[in-house]
Structure 1
Amino acid sequence: MCYNKKVITILMHYTHMVKKRTIFTTILEQLSSPDILLLNGPRQVGKTTLLKLLKEYLVNQLHVPETHIHWFDLDRVEDLSIWSNQATVFALLPIKTTERHYIFIDEFQQSKNIGSIVKVLHDHHPQFKIILTGSASWYLNIDESMAGRKRVIPIWPLSFEEFLQWQHPELVSYYSLAKQNSSALTETLCLAVNTAFIEFSTYGGYPAVVESKTAKEKTERLSELINSYLLKDIQHWNYAANTLQVKNVFTLLAHQTGTELSIPTLATNAGLGRTALLNRVELLQQTFMLHVLKPYFTNRTKEIVKQPKVYLVDTGLRNSLAQQFTLQPLTPLFGLVAENTVVSELFKQATITDSIQYWRTKQQQEVDVVIVRSGKPMPIEVKSGIARDIPTNLKHFIRLHAPERAYVLNWSTIRDEEYEGCEILFRPLWFPV
């Protein structure tokens, strides 16, 4: 079943209630599938709002009776208590009905028993379409009861395209033109969007931050987000982890974004042992605060194979932790943050089969990002300044790995080149790859 036309209608109809998220189309397309639908991602990126919009869509567009929609918020003690016991759940639901019903469970990971209960509902009561939201990824790894039964849709902070739609609608046509016809890109068009890209890189894409009016309000919101995360997620998932220690590690990683993760150095700087440090880094990763890029390699003797690179999920969080909100174009700090922005955008754009990595040799030749699609590598170099030539390291990667296409994302150079049979596209930093 295709919902695309209805999606446009409903999103326009409810603009007074919620601004557009492009992922909503994907969610609607999964309504008719038998899979358990899981919207998983960091706290406060809009998962609950998407559930509310979905409920409105079901009621007003598909004319589903409200009595056929069952909503549970497991941050509420009462609802959490219900989902701690299968008998309690079944007593509340119309188990014997043959009509289509929808079960919405917000923050499902709060319940330790929910996996087995949801499995029984899915396997024996197919009249229920189950839609969950979650804020931690490791629950999915340890709970095998939903294996083969779920479709996971990552929900991230706003993409740059969504940010433009929300805050700079006058620039959306430029961005759309760039996506549809890159030959129409001009330096003037590029520079017009670059200003918005700096703003986006400064404060990030959390909806509440984007909608805050002043710089002071935005920085306060970001601080609140970090403190809320430390108080809620850290205390829930790891009682042994001191929140001040976690924040210290988080802050150190914010200063080191885009660099190889050296566990001994980080442990020393954090004043923690190796095991304790790894525990806290894993905690940050599994609660969607970090993107960890593993190295791409085909030759173990010449290429780095183990040491990962780390980026924060949102540059607003990164800048808040580092207390660095003054980004000037063509400076080292802007280069560091812009690379983090690009990596975060790539994760938002990635398909389920994409692998986002980086490449470095033992002779320190490096390519910032390598996307592996269908087994084929596509290297991406991020240059915050004006890229005039093909980077030397990119040439080396092309000679070794023979990719079909490569990107040089930079401040304003727009052109296509060819090197050793590889198409090299020079595009703006914000260009969707």
Structure 2
Amino acid sequence: MINRHVSARLLEDLAYFPVVGLIGPRQVGKTTLAKQLGERLAKPMLYLDLELDSDQRKLADAETFLRQYTGHCVILDEVQRMPQLFTLLRALVDQQREPARFMLLGSASPELVRDSSESLAGRISYVELKPFSWPEVQTQSTIQDHWLKGGFPDAFLAPRLPLTFRWLNNFIQTYIERDLRQLGYDLSGRTLTSLLQILAHINGNILNISDLSRSLGIAQPTVNRYIDLLTGSFVIHRLTPYFTNVSKRLVKAPKLYIRDSGVLHQLAQITSYNALLGNPVAGASWEGYVIEQIRRVVGNDWSFHYYRTHAGAEIDLLLVAPDGQKIAIEIKLTNAPTVSKGFYSSLDDIKPNHAFIVIPNGDSYPKENGLWICNLTELITERLLAIYRE
């Protein structure tokens, strides 16, 4: 069993909030984790899978059925299938407000299933369960293997690489194409597949909707809708630019990344580590992998940005903590990095509290002006956590 780092946060929220939402992509382990934690509660558990017709029929008269289980923690899996339940859950919680009344498991973000965030405001805590992070599996694998395969459990734990990428291919076809349609969106499977393949090759680049519109032959509003859906279903994320009061022209469009490196590599038809290193997408893939691993460690408490001027000065990742601390991170796919003048110029603009150059492996050591060369493992398991806990 691989210990999931969000377990402690989930148990803490279940001890306080009447409703806890565990969200994340399919096949990431939400059901397994919810059942494990449910068994540790001081009340019985009832599990309903809303993809099963039999469980949906139990909720034909949902109020009558759920009132029978007032003293239980009721787990509703794939709750986005029945968004009409959210108003009822709010009423039931308001009549008897106590911790762990309901656990809602979903494969779409609250923004994509807006009824939940509106109906349960003030009653629900959301926790995102992501694919395996590097700290969760570092005793069982190498960082190169995790980068290549990504963190989806069935892909990562497959005994042979062909099975890893066969699983990822099936995942893309079923979850990304079929399941999005089941959320009620009229999507063209062919267009979505073409979009994903294009996104794999522009991973880590500035998002240009007009270029995507011309390449796909569809209207820009349609492209924006597809991008929103892929973001809300945890497939991609947009890294927003950081604006500050400097007298320089700044790039203001977001950068786009496919969140799981294994999904990216399957879309780019990269199925071995040697092929990855020789592929033009390797640098941007590593950059996206590092950003996602940092996100999996620090969660959503910090905001994530990049910084780039029109003159080319850039910081790959700028973290801003709730207290305003700024952490500048440059990401390099080499253990002997060189630092550009543009990065130093950006540090002068931003004046971060901490600055790091991230490398895959190797020793960490300081450079001038408080800049540190730091391997990824040390950065996310020691240095960022120390800053996070300050």
Length-normalised TM-score, structure 1: 0.81
Letter in 2 for 1:161: P
Aligned to 1:256: 202
Whether the aligned pair in 2 keeps the contact of 1:159 and 1:205 (CA below 8 Å) is yes
Measure how far apart 1:425 and its partner are: 1.8
Kindly report structure 1 stretches of 4+ aligned residues shifted beyond 6 Å: none
Q: Structure 1 residues 285, 256: closer, same or farther in 2, change over 3 A?
A: same
Q: Distance in 1 between matches of 2:113 and 2:325?
A: 28
- Cα displacement string for residues 89-134 of structure 1 (whole angstroms, at most 9, x for unaligned residues): 232234596xx42111111111121210111121112256211111
Q: Alignment RMSD, CA only?
A: 2.2
Equivalent runs, 1:2-81 vs 2, <5 Å: 18-58=1-41, 62=42, 64=43, 68-81=44-57
Whether the aligned pair in 2 keeps the contact of 1:384 and 1:429 (CA below 8 Å) is no
Structure 2 unaligned runs (5+)?
A: 385-390
Q: Distance in 1 between matches of 2:2 and 2:337?
A: 39
Query: Would you say 1:384 and 2:329 are equivalent positions?
Result: no
Measure how far apart 1:375 and its partner are: 2.2
Query: Would you say 1:425 and 2:375 are equivalent positions?
Result: no
Question: Which of 32, 45, 65 is residue 92 of structure 1 equivalent to?
Answer: 65
Equivalent runs, 1:8-407 vs 2, <5 Å: 18-58=1-41, 62=42, 64=43, 68-83=44-59, 88-94=61-67, 100-127=71-98, 129-137=101-109, 138-143=111-116, 144-165=118-139, 167-168=140-141, 196-299=142-245, 302-304=248-250, 306-328=252-274, 332-373=280-321, 374-407=323-356
Q: Distance in 1 between matches of 2:130 and 2:284?
A: 21
Measure how far apart 1:202 and its partner are: 0.8
Q: Distance in 1 between matches of 2:376 and 2:46?
A: 44
Measure how far apart 1:211 and its partner are: 1.3
Q: Structure 1 residues 301, 238: closer, same or farther in 2, change over 3 A?
A: farther
Measure how far apart 1:302 and its partner are: 2.4
Letter in 2 for 1:77: D
Measure how far apart 1:413 and its partner are: 5.2
Whether the aligned pair in 1 keeps the contact of 2:155 and 2:167 (CA below 8 Å) is yes
Q: Structure 1 residues 327, 303: closer, same or farther in 2, change over 3 A?
A: farther
Q: Structure 1 residues 353, 161: closer, same or farther in 2, change over 3 A?
A: closer
Letter in 2 for 1:385: T
Q: Distance in 1 between matches of 2:355 and 2:260?
A: 25
Whether the aligned pair in 2 keeps the contact of 1:330 and 1:385 (CA below 8 Å) is no
Q: Structure 1 residues 375, 305: closer, same or farther in 2, change over 3 A?
A: farther
Stretch of structure 1 that moved more, 252-261 or 24-33: 24-33
Aligned to 1:190: none
Whether the aligned pair in 2 keeps the contact of 1:387 and 1:413 (CA below 8 Å) is no
Stretch of structure 1 that moved more, 131-140 or 115-124: 131-140
Aligned to 1:416: 366
Structure 1 unaligned runs (5+)?
A: 1-17, 169-195
Corresponding residue SS for 1:156: coil
Whether the aligned pair in 1 keeps the contact of 2:161 and 2:271 (CA below 8 Å) is no
Q: Distance in 2 between matches of 1:162 and 1:114?
A: 34
Stretch of structure 1 that moved more, 306-315 or 70-79: 70-79
Corresponding residue SS for 1:71: strand
Whether the aligned pair in 2 keeps the contact of 1:45 and 1:156 (CA below 8 Å) is yes
Whether the aligned pair in 2 keeps the contact of 1:102 and 1:131 (CA below 8 Å) is yes
- Cα displacement string for residues 305-338 of structure 1 (whole angstroms, at most 9, x for unaligned residues): 5311011110000000110233348765432221
- Cα displacement string for residues 4-60 of structure 1 (whole angstroms, at most 9, x for unaligned residues): xxxxxxxxxxxxxx43212112212222103410111111110011112123334xx
Q: Distance in 2 between matches of 1:238 and 1:70?
A: 27
Aligned to 1:176: none
Q: Distance in 2 between matches of 1:96 and 1:52?
A: 17
- Cα displacement string for residues 117-173 of structure 1 (whole angstroms, at most 9, x for unaligned residues): 1111211122562111111112454541111211111110000111224x33xxxxx
